[in-house]
Amino acid sequence: MIARFSIMLTALIFTTGAAAEVLTDADEVIARADLAAYYAGADGRSDVRMIISDSQGRQQRRQFTVLRRDLADAGDQQFLVVFSQPSDVRNTVFLVDKHMDRDDDRWLYLPGLDLVKRISAGDKRTSFVGAHYFYEDVSGRRPSDDTHEFVETNDDFYVLKHTPIDPLSVEFTSYVTWIDRETFLPMKIEYTNAAGDLYRRVEVSEVEDIDGHPTVTSSRVSDLLTGGKTDMQFRYIKYDVGLPETVFTERSLRNPPHDWLQRPER
Amino acid sequence: MKFWPLLLLLPVALHAQDDMWDDDAWDDDDQKTVWSGYLEAALGTRFDHDPLIDERNTLEDLRWRVESEWQRGRARIGFKADAGYDGIEDDWDADIRDLTVAMSFGDNVDIKLGRQVQTWGTGDLVFLNDLFPKDFVSFFAGRHDEYLKAPGNAIRVTRFSPSVNVDFVWTPVFEPDVYLTGERFSFFSPLAGTNVAPEPPLAADDPDRSFANGEFALRLFRTIAGREYALYAYHGFFKQPTALTPSLQATFAPMTSLGASLRRPVGPGVFNAELSYYLSRDDRSGNDPLLPNGQLRFLAGYEWEAKPNFAVAFQYYLESTLDHDELIDNSPNPQFEPDEHRHLLTNRLTYRAGRDKHTWSLFTFYSPSDSDFYLRPVYSYRHSDQWSVTAGANLFGGDNDHTFFKQLADASNAYLRIRYQY
């Protein structure tokens, strides 16, 4: 009973302490945000579904399972994305080897042709399976691809502006991120194009605590020029499931790892 | 009349899919059997009449695709079949594209048994070490790209290990390509010296069924730091009926091949190179006019995203006929024999717009040595998760009647496909 109370007390002190501490180094804030958003646990799995709405309100759906494994925190990662809906993309599999020191390696498996297609490195800020999300939103953009500066720090958020180091490789000229001071999750991202227009917004609408990790469970990306949007929800999330490296190989493209794709029991 | 009234059946299968995104959708039992597929109507027609073929249309398909899969423990059963009406062949038909049992043994062996579509190698619409059956008739007629790969009855065993992965495919009964027969498209006959459309259609002699006449395909592959290396071997037959029996009946010559490939990122794109050596086992010195000579094939390609949503790819392909002098010396029709070195350039342009709702693509084959070409412009529109429309054309031309693409000049066609996915 006493032990339990002291743990709660420690948690309380730690949490409030973290919130009270104000970081002043933009690179440190973005590094912690990157960890919070993409590196929770040593690995993880989630079911994901998206509703893609065009400007006329017509909807399309996607459903898939994502498996992720970290080789090191803030370092290289592997992703396996296995589609289950709609039926014309069922068993399509997307494999990413994310690297810090070079371009990511990415493969797409098309089951109808039994074809393992390699995706070129430049193709990362284009629509991910018809959604308003980009390929790069799925596996994360390297913090080292941008320079970061503070816009402001308020009671709730670190507000940072990011400028691409290679402006020709992206469609934005800058973006601004609202990072939750407590969880370090980016809660809102707004992109500005060369015309100076705000044209794209990503917003988090739900965060849940999963296995001790604050986790985004609902988000939306909006195309502010056309009015289209994609809503994304995450369910059946689990961290530290013990995914082996072998799951993230060509084997899983042709033969998705059923044991690891099953929803966790709880 | 025989064809289009059936289109009226399409809407019958439709049901509203615009329910809101309620939470129930998450609760679908992932063990539940899901049936899916599509209904498709396709019509293609020639730009010009082929004097040898009565039918002007090249494609009149009504197709119903059904697919499902079942997972039981570590075994997965897959099923994909097409049923429908082919107006060109005036035939109701059903075809199983996939009926397989896939199992894993131990930690590192996968076995897939049954009728299946298989692909390996690095070429884009150019094949060197991929000797799995292809359906060029479907490809030239404007069916979905998926139908370029024909199914075969095979056993595939794959062993994965950190040093090298091994893929072994045994196809007990030889599965040739679906070749030009003269039914849908006429083709050039060196014997006749012109295009022909034989009646009945060409039916090449298949090899006798025996263990030794099966097909054995092997691939050793490994990825090291993003570079994909592979070695290939094949023992079987040329996939096209390019040989003649002593009674001048078309057939398939025995062939063994060895090859290698590399695919790796270079700069902003992906580079691939592939090599293969075809040994014509019954014509090793190349002097038998009834049998095709051996070949050396080489491919190098590069693909990159030139602008967002705009991909560009080039390939250079070389097909060298071995012992070419012997071929010419012994040929009854040396003027129709292939050049010693056939060079082929390909280009693929792909532009996607509206988050992949619209896809424009142009694939060009051009052979400077044969002076012929093949253009494949395609536009696809994905209206919704259910409805999609594809329009395209297959345009063939060249200077000499006997070359690969020029023989299909009268087959140049445009097509339209409408698909309802369920």
| CB-nearest partner of A120 from B30, B303, B309 | B303
B117 interaction partners in chain A (CB closer than 8 Å): 112-114
d(Cα A46, Cα B294) in Å, to the nearest integer? 52
Residue A132 has pLDDT above 70, yes or no: yes
Segment A175-215, tens digit of pLDDT: 999 999 999 999 999 999 999 999 999 999 999 999 999 99
**Do B265 and A105 count as a contact with CB atoms less than 8 A apart?**
yes
**Do B149 and A114 count as a contact with CB atoms less than 8 A apart?**
yes
The verdict on B104 touching A (C-beta cutoff 8 Å) is yes
**Do A47 and B228 count as a contact with CB atoms less than 8 A apart?**
no
**Of A202, A206, A136, the residue nearest A169 (C-alpha):** A136
Which CATH architecture fits B34-421?
A: Beta Barrel (2.40)
Residues 116 through 135 of chain A touching chain B, CB cutoff 8 Å: 116, 118-123, 125-127, 129-132
The pLDDT of residue B30: 58
Segment A12-66, tens digit of pLDDT: 444 444 555 899 999 999 999 999 999 999 999 999 999 999 999 899 999 999 9
Task: Using CA coordinates, name the residue in chain A closest to B151.
Answer: A113
The pLDDT of residue B9: 43
Q: Which of A117, A123, A206, A235 is the best mutation test for B, with the most CBs of B within 10 A? A: A123
Q: Which of A103, A126, A132 is the best mutation test for B, with the most CBs of B within 10 A? A: A126
Structure tokens at B207: 């090899």
CA distance B146 to chain A (A): 5
CA distance B265 to chain A (A): 7
The pLDDT of residue B73: 83
d(Cα B136, Cα B348) in Å, to the nearest integer? 19
Residues 232 through 261 of chain A touching chain B, CB cutoff 8 Å: 235-236, 246, 249-251, 254-255, 258
Structure tokens at B29: 């039992």
d(Cα B313, Cα B365) in Å, to the nearest integer? 12
Sign of CA dihedral B190, B196, B198, B203: positive
HSE, CB side, 13 Å, CA atoms: give it for residue B100: 25
By DSSP bridging, strand A157-164 and strand A186-192 are unpaired
**Of B71, B59, B66, B85, the residue nearest B29 (C-alpha):** B71
Mean pLDDT of chain A: 90
Task: Using CA coordinates, name the residue in chain B closest to A87.
Answer: B36
Residues 183 through 222 of chain A touching chain B, CB cutoff 8 Å: none
Task: Using CA coordinates, name the residue in chain A closest to B149.
Answer: A113
Residue A9 has pLDDT above 60, yes or no: no
Residues 234 through 293 of chain B touching chain A, CB cutoff 8 Å: 263, 265, 268-270, 272
Residues 47 through 66 of chain B touching chain A, CB cutoff 8 Å: none
Q: Which of B385, B389, B419, B421 is the best mutation test for A, with the most CBs of A within 10 A? A: B385
The verdict on A6 touching B (C-beta cutoff 8 Å) is no
The verdict on A55 touching B (C-beta cutoff 8 Å) is no
CA distance A96 to chain B (A): 11
**Do A49 and B118 count as a contact with CB atoms less than 8 A apart?**
no
Reading chain B (422 residues) residue by residue, the pLDDT tens digits are: 344 444 444 444 444 343 344 555 665 555 678 899 999 999 999 999 999 999 999 999 999 999 999 988 889 999 999 999 999 999 999 999 999 999 999 889 999 999 999 999 999 999 999 999 999 999 999 999 999 999 999 999 999 999 999 999 999 999 999 999 999 999 999 989 999 999 999 999 999 999 999 999 999 999 999 999 999 999 999 999 999 999 999 999 999 999 999 999 999 999 999 999 999 999 999 999 999 999 999 999 999 999 889 999 999 999 999 999 999 999 999 999 999 999 999 999 999 998 999 999 999 999 999 999 999 999 999 999 999 999 999 999 999 999 999 999 999 999 999 999 99
**Cα-based distances in Å from B163 to A238, B159, B222, B223, B265:** 32, 11, 7, 10, 21
**Of B252, B260, B188, the residue nearest B406 (C-alpha):** B188
d(Cα A238, Cα B329) in Å, to the nearest integer? 71
The pLDDT of residue A20: 55
The verdict on B351 touching A (C-beta cutoff 8 Å) is no
d(Cα B98, Cα B115) in Å, to the nearest integer? 5
Structure tokens at A112: 């109808």
Structure tokens at A36: 């919070």
What residue spans define the domains of chain A? Answer: 25-261
**Cα-based distances in Å from A259 to A252, A255, B214, B405:** 11, 11, 35, 48
A132 interaction partners in chain B (CB closer than 8 Å): 355
- End-to-end alpha carbon distance in chain A: 26
Sign of CA dihedral A35, A41, A42, A43: negative
Structure tokens at B341: 């070195």
**Do B268 and A121 count as a contact with CB atoms less than 8 A apart?**
yes
**Do B385 and A88 count as a contact with CB atoms less than 8 A apart?**
yes
pLDDT category, A140, cuts 50, 70, 90?
A: confident
- Residue of higher predicted confidence among B419 and A258: B419
Segment A154-185, tens digit of pLDDT: 999 999 999 999 998 899 999 999 999 999 99
What number of C-beta contacts closer than 8 Å exist between A and B? 122
Task: Using CA coordinates, name the residue in chain B closest to A86.
Answer: B385
Residue A97 has pLDDT above 90, yes or no: yes
**Do B117 and A58 count as a contact with CB atoms less than 8 A apart?**
no
> What own/partner pairs with CB < 8 Å and gap ≥ 24 does A151-156 have?
A151/A176, A153/A22, A153/A181, A155/A181, A156/A180, A156/A181
Superfamily of domain A25-261: Lipoprotein localisation LolA/LolB/LppX (2.50.20.10)
What is the ipTM for the molecules in this complex? 0.91
Q: What is the pTM of this model?
A: 0.91
B221 interaction partners in chain A (CB closer than 8 Å): 250
A114 interaction partners in chain B (CB closer than 8 Å): 116-119, 149
CA distance B46 to chain A (A): 27
Task: Using CA coordinates, name the residue in chain A closest to B30.
Answer: A262
